[in-house]
Amino acid sequence: MDCKLHKLVADVAVFAAGQVLLVRYHDVSRYDGQRGWFLPDDHLETGEHPDSAASRILAEQAELGGTAPQLSHIESLSNGAWHLIFHYVTTLDAPMPVAPAGNVAAAEWFPLDALPPRSEIAHDGWAVEVLDALSLS
């Protein structure tokens, strides 16, 4: 059963050679109806550790199993429901081909200095804010 008061979320910033991986989703009902670009993310499953969720997200959404994302920071916000977001980071030597899987409609590598316009990024450009916070940590 989905809780309407709390949302536990993990996302993963995947970097490779000055680029970052962004995804779009088919079914956006779990993403507040947002259709723009996201860092790969998902809700934690019941009882799932955030570290496991980060690895699962990469394996399921980008076929990047075997990576070991590291926790960068935790964000807490409220917009009707309290969101606790675990932000993870992993770095690859080079961008790898990514085949969209599951609910992922598109997955693309973007140069960090040429990200899509904020209007094309979900939640009013939230991924850009996360990436900016990662550069400070």
Does residue 130 sit within a domain? yes
CA angle 78, 31, 129 (to 5 degrees): 60
Question: What tokens appear for 41 in the block?
Answer: 């993310």
Does residue 120 sit within a domain? yes
- The CATH number that applies at residue 99 is 3.90.79.10
Asked if 41 contacts 10 with a C-beta cutoff of 8 angstroms, the reply is yes
Closest CA to 62 of 42, 48, 33, 87: 42
The pLDDT value recorded for residue 1 is 44
Does residue 94 sit within a domain? yes
Does residue 1 sit within a domain? no
Q: What is the pLDDT of residues 59-100, one digit of tens each?
A: 999 888 878 899 999 999 887 778 899 999 999 999 999 888
What total of structural domains would you count in the chain? 1
The pLDDT value recorded for residue 136 is 58
- Place 137 in a pLDDT band, splitting at 50, 70 and 90: low
Q: Identify the domain containing residue 33 by its residue range.
A: 6-136
- Residue predicted with more confidence, 41 or 2: 41
Does residue 123 sit within a domain? yes
Q: What is the pLDDT of residues 13-65, one digit of tens each?
A: 999 999 999 999 988 777 777 789 999 999 999 999 999 999 999 999 988 88
Does residue 14 sit within a domain? yes
